[in-house]
Each structure stands twice: as C-alpha cells, then as structure tokens.
Amino acid sequence: MITAKLFWTGNSQAIRLPKAFRFAGEEVRIEKQGNKVIIEPVVNNWDWLDELGELDPTFVSAVQSERQTPAQEREWSCFE
C-alpha cells in the first residue's frame, strides 16, 4: 500500500498525492464514506455519453414521431 503525506495550508488540511495518483484537470469531487475519503475527477465534457451506448429504437422512433407533429396554435389573448 502506498502512503501519502498530509500537511496544512492555511486552515485547510491537504494531501500530497504521489505521481501515480495525480489527476488531470483542476477540480475533483470529494466524498466521505465512513472513515474513507473518495476523490474522483470532475468531468467537464460530454465523453461520458459514449458509455451509454446507442439509444433504444423505440425511443428514437417516438422522438422522430413527435418532431413531425405540427405545433398547436394557442390562444394567448386571455393572458393579456
């Protein structure tokens, strides 16, 4: 098991991560579960969508059908 050094910067405690544990980017999400602290990168792009795979054909068909439905005319004068 690899250990890391704790230190203080102002009133905040910090961890000096070994090179093998460095994160890309400038921000991480932090969560405490019991006596464990979980640190994970904040994703600022849409790459996670690729993991979802293709959409269900039924959903795609429903969206396409909805797009072909003409917009309804509304009477808005009652709100004036």
Domains, the chain, ordered by start: 1-67 (2.10.260)
Query: What residue type is assigned to position 52 of the chain?
Result: L
Nearest to 16 by CA among 32, 28, 26, 3: 3
DSSP count for the chain of H helices, then E strands: 1, 4
The pLDDT score that the predictor gives to residue 7 is 96
Q: pLDDT tens digit string along 21-67?
A: 999 888 999 999 999 999 999 887 888 788 888 889 999 999 998 88
Report how far residue 12's alpha carbon sits from residue 34's, in angstroms, rounded to the nearest whole number: 20
80 confidence band (pLDDT: 50, 70, 90) = confident
Can you give the pTM of this predicted structure? 0.50
Report how far residue 28's alpha carbon sits from residue 60's, in angstroms, rounded to the nearest whole number: 35
The pLDDT score that the predictor gives to residue 10 is 95
